[in-house]
Amino acid sequence: MKRVAITGAGTINALGHNVSQTLEAMREGHCGIGPLEMRDVDRLAVQIGAQVSDFSPDTIFNRQQLALYDRFTQFALIAAREALAYSGLEFSGALSAKSGVVLGNSGGGMQTLDENYRTVYEDGKNRVHPFVVPKLMNNAAASHISMEFNLKGPSFTVASACASSNHAMAQAFQMVRSGMAPVMITGGAESMLCFGGVKAWEGLRVMSKDACRPFSATRNGMVQGEGAGVFVFEEMDHAEARGADILAEVVGFAMTSDAADIVMPSRQGASRAISGALEDAGLNREEVGYINAHGTGTAANDKTECSAVADVFGPHADRLMMSSTKSMHGHLIGGTGAVELLACIMALRDGVIAPTIGYEEADPECALDVVPNEAREASIDVALSNAFAFGGLNAVLALRRV
């Protein structure tokens, strides 16, 4: 089996338009959540979100590109450009033929759907732009990355709701580890912050109207975000041979299904995914110093996640740190695990643990060290990233410091 290095990272989200801005914001405990700016916002019951601001796609993409790129594709391409530039890789010949893209995404081109449903239902028009289908399909972002960077190996999109990015990155990891692909571009992107997207989430009554406060006794729901995170997963020997800067090593993963309920999380499903990732990576539980939690800020997720961690880690659960950065960048749904992996890389590489902000009051059902409100310096060797999706689909990744 091959070892797998992360040799590039890129992002755009509510905390920043690149990795350094995002990590700086996480260190500072900055909150990217604010009043939503969109058409008909006054008709929404939930009027907050973590939107990407100061974003002018027409300064980044030309007219023909904009006609084909939904906002989630724009985010994915921006993140991929940063990640590929950092890695220094260019794809030609055999490397190009075997390398590919696996991205997580849940909603596809929701902005495109929203705009065009308006056109035909609200405005009563009988004609839509011919690129609606290639713009809204879930695989559009992965396809455009493959085209821009000449990646001719396996490329596809994984949809498992809030675990999409972790499932995608686990798949990419497996492809590189098995020797199937020397390099895989992976991560996820999402842009559901449009009128229809927020309206749909409102219906489920799990959204907070004021803030995302994971693990706090005063938490009252999740807050949606948007953006993308993209990484370069590269076979370790290949990365070392070319002198690449290695951000971290991916050492294991596990995926489980609750097979129980379409929305309620399961303690057993979560703990099986966490312990499975440790087993796959050959880690002792005492080696884990940090967990980037799924930590949505809902009543159900946070207590279930804490009890699952307690089950797996036993007494060590009281010594490790676990934070939810969703308190800052919101819940990016299919893109969330990708942006959250940045917090794991920062913990391993820079020794800075991102905080759970908005933390107001201890909850006895979430009695772990959730790094409340302020980032912390700590030297750790292993970090986990949790994702537990609607539909009971769980995926946990394990990373090690290099």
Partner 1 sequence: MSVKDRVIEIVAEQAVLEPSDVTMESTLEDLGIDSLGLVESIFAIEEEFDISIPFNANEPESSEFDISSVTTIIAGIEKLIENTPAA
Contact 400, 280 (CB under 8 A): no
Contact 108, 116 (CB under 8 A): no
Closest separation in Å from C-beta 119 to partner 1: 11
**Cβ proximity to partner 1, 127 vs 205, nearer residue:** 127
**Cβ proximity to partner 1, 129 vs 209, nearer residue:** 129
Closest separation in Å from C-beta 341 to partner 1: 35
Site for partner 1 contains 127 (CB under 8 A): yes
Cα angle for residues 32, 206, 76 (degrees, 5° grid): 45
| Residue reference for tokens 């999109």 | 157
The catalytic position among 162, 194, 212, 366 is: 162
Choose which of 40, 45, 85, 129 interacts with partner 1 (CB under 8 A): 129
Q: Is 162 a catalytic residue?
A: yes
| CA distance readout (Å), 239 to 24, 180, 245, 379 | 27, 16, 8, 24
Q: How many binding residues for partner 1 (CB under 8 A)?
A: 6
**Cβ proximity to partner 1, 64 vs 92, nearer residue:** 64
Choose which of 35, 93, 124, 130 interacts with partner 1 (CB under 8 A): 130
Q: Is 294 a catalytic residue?
A: yes
Binders of partner 1 among residues 210 to 249 (CB under 8 A) are none
Question: Which of 114, 122, 93 is closest to 200 using CA atoms?
Answer: 114
Which residues, 6 or more positions from 353, have their beta carbon under 8 angstroms from its beta carbon? 290, 321, 323, 347, 371, 375, 376, 377, 378, 380
Site for partner 1 contains 61 (CB under 8 A): no
Binders of partner 1 among residues 8 to 37 (CB under 8 A) are none
Closest separation in Å from C-beta 80 to partner 1: 22
| CA distance readout (Å), 238 to 43, 89, 90 | 53, 11, 13
Closest separation in Å from C-beta 166 to partner 1: 34
Which residues, 6 or more positions from 94, have their beta carbon under 8 angstroms from its beta carbon? none
Q: Is 331 a catalytic residue?
A: yes
Q: Please name the helix (run of DSSP H) or strand (run of DSSP E) that holds residue 68, with its range, or none.
A: helix 63-68
Closest separation in Å from C-beta 129 to partner 1: 6
Choose which of 20, 39, 67, 259 interacts with partner 1 (CB under 8 A): 67
Site for partner 1 contains 156 (CB under 8 A): no
Catalytic residues: 162, 294, 331
* Residue numbers at the binding site for partner 1 (CB under 8 A): 64, 67, 127, 129-131
